[in-house]
Amino acid sequence: MLFYISLWISKLYLYLFKRNSTDDTTGMLACKIDRDFLKHVAKPPTVICVTGTNGKTTTCNFICDFLEKSGFKVAANKEGANLRPGISKALLKTVTIFNQSKADFAVIEFDELSSAELLKDLKPQYVIVTNLSSDTMKRNGHTDYVFARIKAGLNDDMTLILNGDDLISCQLGKDKNAFYFSIKEQPNDKTKTIPFSKDIRLCPVCDSELIFDYVRYNHIGKAHCPKCGFSNPVADFLLEKIDLENRQITINSENYHLIDPNLTNIYNELTLISLLKLLKISSIDPILKDLKVTKTRFDKESINGIEIITQMAKGQNPVAVSRSLEYIKEMPGKKALIIILDDMLDKNAYHTTRGEAINWIYETDFSFLEDDSIKEIVVGGNNYADFKMRFNFLDLKDKVHYCNEESDTYKYLKLEDIDKVVILRDIYMGKIAKEIIANIKEMLK
Amino acid sequence: MIIEVLYPDAANLYGCLFDIEYLKKTVADLEVHYTNLDAVPYFADNDVDLIYLGVTKERYQEKFIGHLKPYTDRLKELIQKNVIIIALGNSFEIFGQKIDDLEALGIFNYTSQRDFSKHHLSRFLGRFEDMDLIGFKSKFSDVSHIDEPFMEVKKGFGCSDDPKHEGIRHHNFYGTYLIGPIFIMNPLFYQYILKKLDYQKAIPYLDDALEAYHNRLDEFINNDSLFK
């Protein structure tokens, strides 16, 4: 009975106050009235849960958008609220007042540290782990810890979809019903470990040093142990070819439309297609053409021939920021770059970001900034001096400026002979990024 | 100057090895020996000026202990000879008596207890001699029975049985739960260590390191909410 009281009150609250809101107060209310709300609320016939260090929100959005465009009704926490309240709200929205699910699928992003308690209640048929790497230290410690927390939530009833190129998360599939996706060796892959790929250097079986056959980024790639033979699993879904010119990828000899050329998003799309194949959905390609990366993560506009691009990266996440920097480096043309990555959550909590554990900037590969195509760089925020110290270990000549206020960064741009202005921002820096863009537009008029 | 970095293949978390990059930028004739888990430590048969052991994952602690066990007496000798040893984060636990039930090197008296249900993350401000040290802790364990603490706690957390003190210092052995590049984040401590190493020349980027250090130190001193 408590559950139904919780359901009805929460639904009324949602209808009256939160119809257009993206916050998760409705879910908080539901869980406050019935602590087991998530366990009791009806689930659709197929529940797909997604976690991992990077790419889980975009992967969820791809899956959800695809299924909706295919005519299915989907319960999803698309805004990325991946704890109990956000997930509860997503399911609550798609059940009747008699707790019958109206959805065909639930696509749920879940927090990796809450795996055991969330998966027990969600009972998913499919669990996807995009990858595991060093992440925001304040929550995740190190990869061994996160791995153990995810593993604690897995059981034999679940089908796992895992990244075969990730030597860490792929081990979750040991003795489980697991399928692996992988991207075949590509021309841009590196031949040796880069100094920053330190999340796994030793064999997880015998602790011998792994030999990397190729490294795509961080520790993503292919490696083998010369002593015990440990290596990447055999891929069930192998992306054989990336044709950027024709925006096409080939997976298990079938061609698909490429949604976005960013390597991270190619992995996200490969994950989507692997799932769709397991779900035995046959008509894939026509709908892929309608899918897009969410605008908040990547956006661009043009003014007087100069592109203004916003690239979002999870701040304090060394791999996410390194990936974004490499992507920016690879963008064609001459670029001016604004970096605003201080943790706004810290700023809101403590009125300063100088309490932020800044170690992550020493785990991030900033060497992409040395590229000649990046003509000027402005770093803004409370922690500017930490970046200044970090950048002493790079060869940036005199192309970088630092300032204390993010909103002042545009003032240091020269914009001489520039094709693009790129703003690399933290998740919670959206409002400030918009202010900066408005000021840059004024400068370009 | 000769330094040895122990286990860069496994003791490398949170950017700590950038301290070595800073040393390389600082000392022109620096000789660095990197010793992986499958190699004989350089210090076993050679003199070194500094040994650096960074933060690791807990499962490697046992490997480190097994690897260093045959050289326990040599380590004791080097400590007595005032060789500088820096051990960061959970790595310094291996020099104590025990980590849970695991027998450690037994060079010092302390013991450590792990609890993987609690991820401890905190900011830290401590006093050592005439300088303030700042930093962060990220750990799943705690240490007790330290005879000679490294720092006096000004803000943040100390040892479980002695909350007013943090880490261990014996001769020039410095063990602390602070993580990341401790030299870069604490330029005064870096100067102190370099002085002990008889390095007299200028330190590169010292102004930048001091600017970042003082910015953070001011916030740590003036913002108690950071330590709640």
B contact test, residue of A209, A358, A400 with most B CBs within 10 A: A358
Is it the case that residue A195 has pLDDT exceeding 90? no
Say whether residue B228 is in contact with chain A using an 8 A CB cutoff: no
Q: What was the pLDDT predicted at A137?
A: 76
Q: Residue B21: its chain A contacts at CB < 8 A?
A: 393
Q: What was the pLDDT predicted at B33?
A: 98
Tokens 């899956």 sit at which residue? A63
Who among B36, B181, B205 is closest to A362 (CB)?
B181
User: What number of CA atoms fall less than 13 Å from residue B168's CA on the CB side?
Assistant: 28
Q: What was the pLDDT predicted at A194?
A: 59
Q: Residue B62: its chain A contacts at CB < 8 A?
A: none
Say whether residue B225 is in contact with chain A using an 8 A CB cutoff: yes
pLDDT band at A428 (very low <50, low <70, confident <90, very high): confident
CB under 8 Å to A71, separation ≥6 — which residues? none
Mean pLDDT to the nearest integer, A200-217 = 91
Is it the case that residue A138 has pLDDT exceeding 80? no
Chain centre distance of CA A187: 24
Nearest chain A residue to B187 by CA distance is: A389
CA distance A348 to A369: 29
Mean pLDDT to the nearest integer, A40-60 = 95
Assess: ipTM above 0.85. Answer: yes
CA distance A124 to A145: 23
In CATH, the architecture of A2-288 is: 3-Layer(aba) Sandwich (3.40)
Task: Identify the residue with better confidence: B5 or A345.
Answer: B5
Mean pLDDT to the nearest integer, B131-138 = 96
- Cβ of A142 and B223 within 8 Å? no
Tokens 């044709």 sit at which residue? A243
For chain A, what percent of residues have pLDDT higher than 90?
Answer: 75
The model's pLDDT over A291-336, given as tens digits with 9 standing for 90+, comes to 988 766 778 899 989 999 999 988 888 989 999 999 999 999 999 9
Nearest chain B residue to A351 by CA distance is: B223
Q: What was the pLDDT predicted at A350?
A: 65
The model's pLDDT over B108-120, given as tens digits with 9 standing for 90+, comes to 999 999 999 888 9
- Cβ of B223 and A355 within 8 Å? yes
pLDDT mean across residues, chain A: 92
pLDDT band at B57 (very low <50, low <70, confident <90, very high): very high
Distances (CA, A) of A51 to A119, A297, B214: 11, 18, 39
Q: Which of A89-103, A341-355, A389-403, B10-24 has the lowest mean pLDDT?
A: A341-355
- Cβ of B36 and A362 within 8 Å? no
Q: What was the pLDDT predicted at A296?
A: 65
CA distance B74 to A298: 56
The model's pLDDT over A278-297, given as tens digits with 9 standing for 90+, comes to 999 988 999 999 998 876 67
Mean pLDDT to the nearest integer, B180-206 = 97
pLDDT band at B72 (very low <50, low <70, confident <90, very high): very high
Say whether residue B117 is in contact with chain A using an 8 A CB cutoff: no
- A vs B: CB pairs below 8 A: 108
The domain defined by B2-227 carries CATH number 3.40.50.880: yes
Q: Residue B36: its chain A contacts at CB < 8 A?
A: 209
Who among B38, B121, B208 is closest to A388 (CB)?
B208
Tokens 């803000």 sit at which residue? B155
pLDDT band at A188 (very low <50, low <70, confident <90, very high): confident
For chain A, what percent of residues have pLDDT higher than 70?
Answer: 95
Task: Identify the residue with better confidence: A412 or A357.
Answer: A412
CA distance A317 to A322: 9
Is it the case that residue A367 has pLDDT exceeding 60? yes
Q: Which of A126-140, A157-171, A276-290, B143-157 has the lowest mean pLDDT?
A: A126-140
Tokens 């009747």 sit at which residue? A96
Mean pLDDT to the nearest integer, B51-60 = 96
pLDDT band at A337 (very low <50, low <70, confident <90, very high): very high
Q: Is the dihedral of CA B75, B79, B82, B84 positive or negative?
A: positive
Q: What was the pLDDT predicted at B225?
A: 86
Q: What was the pLDDT predicted at B20?
A: 97
pLDDT band at B47 (very low <50, low <70, confident <90, very high): very high
- For domain A298-444, the CATH superfamily is Mur ligase, C-terminal domain (3.90.190.20)
Would you state the structure tokens that stand for residue A262, as one six-digit string?
């960013």
Q: What was the pLDDT predicted at B221?
A: 93
CB under 8 Å to A40, separation ≥6 — which residues? A3, A34, A99
Radius of gyration of chain A (CA): 22
Is it the case that residue A21 has pLDDT exceeding 80? no
3-state secondary structure A358-412: HHHHHCCCHHHHHCCCEEEEEEECCCHHHHHHHHCCCCCCCCEEEECCHHHHHHH
pLDDT band at A348 (very low <50, low <70, confident <90, very high): low
Task: Identify the residue with better confidence: A217 or B31.
Answer: B31
Domain residue limits, chain A: 2-288, 298-444
Would you state the structure tokens that stand for residue A394, as one six-digit string?
């790079």
